[in-house]
Amino acid sequence: MSSERYDFSAIEKKWQKRWFADRTYEPDLTGAEKPFYNLMMFPYPSAEGLHVGNMYAFTGADIYGRKKRMEGYDVFEPIGLDGFGIHSENYALKIGAHPMKQAKISETRFYEQLSAIGNGFAWEEKLETYDPKYYRWTQWVFVQLWKHGLAYRKKQAVNWCPSCKTVLADEQVIAGKCERCGSEAEMKNLEQWFFRITKYVDRLLANLEKIDWSERVKIAQRNWIGKSEGALIKFSIFNSPFSIDVFTTRPDTLYGATYVVLAPEHPLVATLPIKNRAEVEQYVKAAARKSEADRIAEGREKTGAELKGVKAINPANKEEIPIFIADYVLATYGTGAIMAVPAHDERDRDFARAFDLPVSDAPLVDGRKVVKEVGGKWETNFRLRDWLISRQRYWGVPIPMIFCEACAAAGKGEQKGMPGWYAVPEEELPVELPYVEDFRPKGKGESPLASAPEFYRAKCPGCGADARRETDVSDTFLDSAWYYLRYPSTRSVRGEQIPWDPAITKKWFPVNLYTGGAEHSVLHLLYVRFIAMVFHDLGFLHFEEPFPKFRAHGLLISEGAKMSKSKGNVVNPDEYISKYGADVLRMYLMFLAPFEQGGDFRDASIQGIVRFLERVWRIFQNGSVGERDPLMRTLHRTIKKVTSDIEAFQYNTAISALMILANEMETAGSSEDVREAFLKLLAPFAPHLAEELWERMGHTTSIHREKWPLYDEALVHEDTFPLVVQVNGRRRATIEATRGIMKHEAEELARADEKVGRALAEGEVKTVVYVKDRLINFVMKSI
């Protein structure tokens, strides 16, 4: 018996090096016969390094991919860095570094860490979003949207983060706060670039029914899209040519509408002949100053102002009713005006109470009929708004647009309604982000690039006159909205001339499995679907849903709370990898709870996995027992369980099954066959150890390219089963019985049991329920 120690550190380093040199995880991108694209959300290297939560996510995805590879698929598991954008820039600001230099440092660090976790990454196809070779195509994506009328510029009230000093998309404002830094977002009226995601709203919603995604993520997208069906009803204004269109989902309450409310920003406010103009304008101004957060902080007490001198007419009962403006009505939803029904709507009731308005007790009517009677029109509204792309920051993809004063004055331009604006010609891409010493956000609604004349000076692509480049950069979520399309084409010869190679794309898409965090439900996962639909419609992609199967992993918490630096409970994987090894950490993370559930990281129980892998090591140090094998049935049961558990992302129970098998191998001994099969089952979870023991068994090729074991259904069960005998549903005995016995045989066996006999003697048997190969239940008459 050898007593060689399990030197995980040497073993893991050895195999990581060998796999890389042997290109073990590099599929043949052009010739693969059974492509399987196993994609995981790439990390943003914003902080000190990889988070144990990243490792949790990557390991879970990798296990699935490793099994697929062993099932004969050509698995492609790429990795990269989402290193452009506010998160990386904020980190650079915090540590006083320049983001362009810091990116290189973070890159080295992240790639080192990502190498150490033992995933089957296809390193040759890695990409970084801040690489001009990559963002050249991000700009190209922008240009395509522009050319097809899906990118436009518009002045409107937008979210502004006073700390990040930039505008934000609606999706990046969480409960009134900036998604990145947590500052309260303000509203500002600014001219910005938008993507017309709302054009795709119907498909974004309808396709959710067709894709296999974690249900909670689908629900989040549905809520965010916020479809509601209702009616558009016209309220004319007494003695006036004007009228107000309102949107309501409850036309059946029309008789109870006792006043009308406009959003403070509603255009009619300026037009109507209002008597108390000064008072109204004061309210409009006050409302404009308020941030979302302010409004929430006020406890939603209703404020507003009556528009004196005008009255609206309820089209149902022809009554004259007052008109108000109030900030509880949003300018950006519906028509920016509502009919108020204080009897049926809580918000209207609150407002009516604050302003002492009468509440009507008019009964409900048939909504369909009343809409017809008053000449209303059925309409569907969505809460989803267009995607705000501009950011007044430095560290991002420059928006590839040029504005020409001369053309604007002459009304010339590339797109209707956008005089003076031209896309940078595609052959001139990328518009490279220049190194700028003072990259800090300025807070004046302009990017730092607006202070760099050598950057913004350009010639107009239309007329050749001196013109000015757009100086804002694009939202980071644009970088990640198409990255998955680039991976397989990064090394393609044609990848120099086109963003994604059509032949390779046809072969590898759509992505077979996408794994990532649920926190991106309405951010990344919505944008990426939108961009895919656009390129599908433009004929560049053969699919419109990029990820037919998506699984959200659970959240890994620590000490009962979400890991965060301020709480000081962030777990760094490095120390665990150096102390226990990547295989132990991988298995520990996967063992603590179901993958889709997440769990609490406690190092106390990591010892169980340490013991397990050391036991496995020990088993393989001892010789095998030869041909006759007592473990065949346990083995086949384990193969079945591990196979189906991996498919269902239930890695915790798969590991438990492996433990049971290993325990039996240690006590009963195991043959070569059992050992080989065991190592294969272990390989996705502990790839280094499995590979090492595989080699020591005399194999010269990688276990990760071996065939996944198959089970024999006939061997999954024992010949006997424990027959549970119940009397009135209470267990009285357990008898070893032959599988497949008939009811009368089981009954005979059961009656022969002394305790059962005693229980049956107490009454008369009414019925006997027999569940094959499981239990028999005597139901007594007395009950």
- Using CB under 7 A as the binding rule, the residues of this chain from 507 to 546 that contact RNA are 518-519, 521-522
Q: Which of 728, 747, 751, 753 binds RNA (CB under 7 A)?
A: 728
Cβ of residue 185: shortest distance to RNA, in angstroms? 11
Considering only residues 67 to 126 of the shown chain, the ones binding RNA according to CB under 7 A are none
Considering only residues 243 to 262 of the shown chain, the ones binding RNA according to CB under 7 A are 247-250
Look up residue 349 and give its two tokens: 């009731």
Q: Which of 377, 562, 567, 705 binds RNA (CB under 7 A)?
A: 562
Q: For residue 416, how many other CB atoms are within 10 A of its CB?
A: 8
Q: Which of 28, 48, 298, 712 binds RNA (CB under 7 A)?
A: 298
Burial class (CB in 10 A: 0-12, 13-18, 19+), 373: middle
Alpha helices per DSSP H over 571-650: 573-580, 582-591, 606-621, 632-647
Nearer to RNA, 153 or 302 (CB): 302
d(CA 358, CA 125) in angstroms, rounded, equals: 68
Among 280, 233, 273, 283, residue whose Cα is nearest residue 257:
233
- State whether residue 89 is helix, strand or coil: helix
**In which region does residue 334 sit, left (phi positive, over 0), alpha (psi from -120 to 50) or beta (all else)?**
left
DSSP 8-state symbol, 398: B
Considering only residues 308 to 327 of the shown chain, the ones binding RNA according to CB under 7 A are 327
Q: Which of 454, 730, 761, 781 binds RNA (CB under 7 A)?
A: 730
Nearer to RNA, 539 or 560 (CB): 560
| Residue 724 near RNA by CB under 7 A | yes
| Residue 6 near RNA by CB under 7 A | no
| Residue 549 near RNA by CB under 7 A | no
CA atoms within 13 A on the CB side of 773: 8
| Residue 682 near RNA by CB under 7 A | no
Stretch that binds RNA, among 343-351, 490-498, 531-539, 742-750 (CB under 7 A): 343-351
CA atoms within 13 A on the CB side of 326: 25
d(CA 312, CA 322) in angstroms, rounded, equals: 6
CB 172 within 8 A of CB 178: yes
Sheet containing strand 561-562, edge to edge, reads 561-562, 555-558, 598-601
Q: Which of 10, 105, 157, 330 binds RNA (CB under 7 A)?
A: 330
Which residues are 261's β-sheet partners?
324, 338
| Residue 148 near RNA by CB under 7 A | no
| Residue 607 near RNA by CB under 7 A | yes
> Between β-strands 228-237 and 305-313, what pairing exists: parallel, antiparallel or unpaired?
antiparallel
| Residue 30 near RNA by CB under 7 A | no
Cβ of residue 449: shortest distance to RNA, in angstroms? 31
> Between β-strands 228-237 and 377-381, what pairing exists: parallel, antiparallel or unpaired?
antiparallel
Q: Which of 67, 302, 507, 637 binds RNA (CB under 7 A)?
A: 302
Q: For residue 304, how many other CB atoms are within 10 A of its CB?
A: 21
Stretch that binds RNA, among 57-65, 82-90, 680-688, 728-736 (CB under 7 A): 728-736
Beta strands in 93-172 (DSSP E): 127-128, 151-161, 166-168
Cβ of residue 732: shortest distance to RNA, in angstroms? 6
Sheet containing strand 513-517, edge to edge, reads 74-76, 35-40, 513-517, 549-553, 212-213
Q: Which of 347, 440, 549, 751 binds RNA (CB under 7 A)?
A: 347
Q: Which of 17, 94, 285, 300 binds RNA (CB under 7 A)?
A: 300
CB 626 within 8 A of CB 726: no
Q: How far, rounded to the nearest angstrom, does the alpha carbon of residue 628 sit from its chain's CA centroid?
A: 50
Stretch that binds RNA, among 142-150, 225-233, 672-680, 740-748 (CB under 7 A): 225-233
Cβ of residue 248: shortest distance to RNA, in angstroms? 4
d(CA 453, CA 467) in angstroms, rounded, equals: 11
Cβ of residue 210: shortest distance to RNA, in angstroms? 19
Q: Which of 2, 3, 497, 667 binds RNA (CB under 7 A)?
A: 667
d(CA 26, CA 124) in angstroms, rounded, equals: 8
| Residue 291 near RNA by CB under 7 A | no
Nearer to RNA, 428 or 666 (CB): 666
Q: Which of 224, 514, 535, 550 binds RNA (CB under 7 A)?
A: 224
DSSP 8-state symbol, 546: S
| Residue 230 near RNA by CB under 7 A | yes
| Residue 18 near RNA by CB under 7 A | no
Stretch that binds RNA, among 46-54, 113-121, 273-281, 774-782 (CB under 7 A): 774-782
| Residue 292 near RNA by CB under 7 A | yes
Q: For residue 147, how many other CB atoms are within 10 A of its CB?
A: 14
Cβ of residue 594: shortest distance to RNA, in angstroms? 4
Total binding residues toward RNA, as defined by CB under 7 A: 85
| Residue 268 near RNA by CB under 7 A | no
Look up residue 126 and give its two tokens: 């890695």
| Residue 731 near RNA by CB under 7 A | yes
| Residue 774 near RNA by CB under 7 A | yes
Among 164, 205, 207, residue whose Cα is nearest residue 186:
164
Stretch that binds RNA, among 146-154, 200-208, 289-297, 306-314 (CB under 7 A): 289-297
What φ, ψ does residue 748 adopt, rounded to 5°? Answer: -60, -50
Nearer to RNA, 621 or 663 (CB): 663
> Which residues, 6+ apart, have CB-to-CB distance to 587 below 8 Å?
609, 612, 613, 655, 685, 686
| Residue 718 near RNA by CB under 7 A | no
| Residue 219 near RNA by CB under 7 A | yes
CB 545 within 8 A of CB 551: no
Q: Which of 4, 215, 361, 454 binds RNA (CB under 7 A)?
A: 215
Considering only residues 615 to 654 of the shown chain, the ones binding RNA according to CB under 7 A are 615, 650, 652-653
Nearer to RNA, 373 or 544 (CB): 373
Cβ of residue 403: shortest distance to RNA, in angstroms? 31
d(CA 540, CA 537) in angstroms, rounded, equals: 8
Q: For residue 146, how many other CB atoms are within 10 A of its CB?
A: 24
Q: What angle do CA 593, 599, 604 make, to 5 degrees?
A: 90
What φ, ψ does residue 299 adopt, rounded to 5°? Answer: 70, 20
Cβ of residue 718: shortest distance to RNA, in angstroms? 11
| Residue 283 near RNA by CB under 7 A | no
x/- map, 473-512, RNA, by CB under 7 A? ----------------------------------------
Stretch that binds RNA, among 95-103, 186-194, 487-495, 721-729 (CB under 7 A): 721-729
Nearer to RNA, 97 or 780 (CB): 780
CB 565 within 8 A of CB 524: no
Nearer to RNA, 107 or 350 (CB): 350
Among 667, 588, 677, 452, residue whose Cα is nearest residue 59:
588
Nearer to RNA, 369 or 459 (CB): 369
Cβ of residue 734: shortest distance to RNA, in angstroms? 5
d(CA 185, CA 178) in angstroms, rounded, equals: 6
x/- map, 396-425, RNA, by CB under 7 A? ------------------------------
Stretch that binds RNA, among 185-193, 415-423, 501-509, 726-734 (CB under 7 A): 726-734
In order of 23, 215, 227, 414, 424, the CA distances from 148 in angstroms are 41, 33, 26, 11, 15
